[in-house]
């Protein structure tokens, strides 16, 4: 499960970057088929993660309903041993909350979705800023290079 979560996070980050980059930077170096593939990967990873967390959350909610159903059913019971066992089980359900965790790193719930969205957004901002700085640096280097070539051409023309 930990590998799945890491893979989903990296997949969403990488494909979202390649999908968003042409819109933000304005460069369309990728063909449309690759952009469509990126979009499909984003959607499929997002849907699978949402479904997984919703199922885990629904199971936790249903476990709370189990206690209510047992409490209602105990009214019709007359066997003291069964009532004692069901009371112990109800006590256990009331003191234990069911949650699905991944190696004690995080739990599968709505907060996981929000933290993944926040982390991906942060990484995208950083990646796009580096790309922007790298493009600006490349443009500056081209300007300097062209200026040097122009100056060299002028010097050569002065000598001739």
Average pLDDT over residues 21-27: 75
What pTM value is reported for the model?
0.67
- The pLDDT-based confidence of 137 (bands split at 50, 70, 90) is low
Residue whose entry in the numeric block shows the structure tokens 């004690």: 104
Percent of the chain at pLDDT > 90 equals 12
Average pLDDT over residues 124-130: 84
> For the chain, first and last CA: distance in Å?
73
Record the tokens describing residue 42, joined without a space. Answer: 């984003």
CA dihedral 72, 75, 80, 84 (to 10 degrees): 20
Residue whose entry in the numeric block shows the structure tokens 């047992």: 70
What pLDDT is stored for residue 133 in this prediction? 67
- The pLDDT-based confidence of 155 (bands split at 50, 70, 90) is low
Exposure string of 88-114, with b = 16+ CB inside 10 Å and e = fewer, is: eebeebeeeeeebeeeeeebbbeebbe
């Amino acid at each position: 499960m930990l590998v799945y979560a890491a893979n989903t996070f990296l997949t969403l980050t990488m494909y979202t970057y390649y999908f968003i980059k042409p819109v933000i930077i304005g460069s369309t170096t990728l063909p449309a088929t690759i952009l469509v593939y990126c979009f499909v990967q984003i959607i499929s990873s997002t849907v699978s993660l949402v479904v997984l967390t919703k199922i885990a959350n629904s199971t936790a909610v249903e476990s709370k309903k189990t206690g209510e159903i047992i409490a209602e059913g105990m009214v019709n019971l007359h066997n003291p041993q069964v009532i004692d066992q069901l009371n112990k089980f109800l006590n256990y359900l009331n003191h234990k909350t069911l949650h699905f965790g991944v190696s004690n790193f995080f739990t599968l719930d709505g907060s996981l979705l929000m933290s993944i969205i926040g982390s991906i957004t942060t990484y995208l901002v950083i990646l796009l800023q580096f790309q922007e700085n790298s493009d600006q640096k490349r443009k500056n280097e081209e300007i300097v290079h062209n200026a040097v070539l122009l100056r060299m051409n002028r010097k050569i023309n002065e000598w001739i």
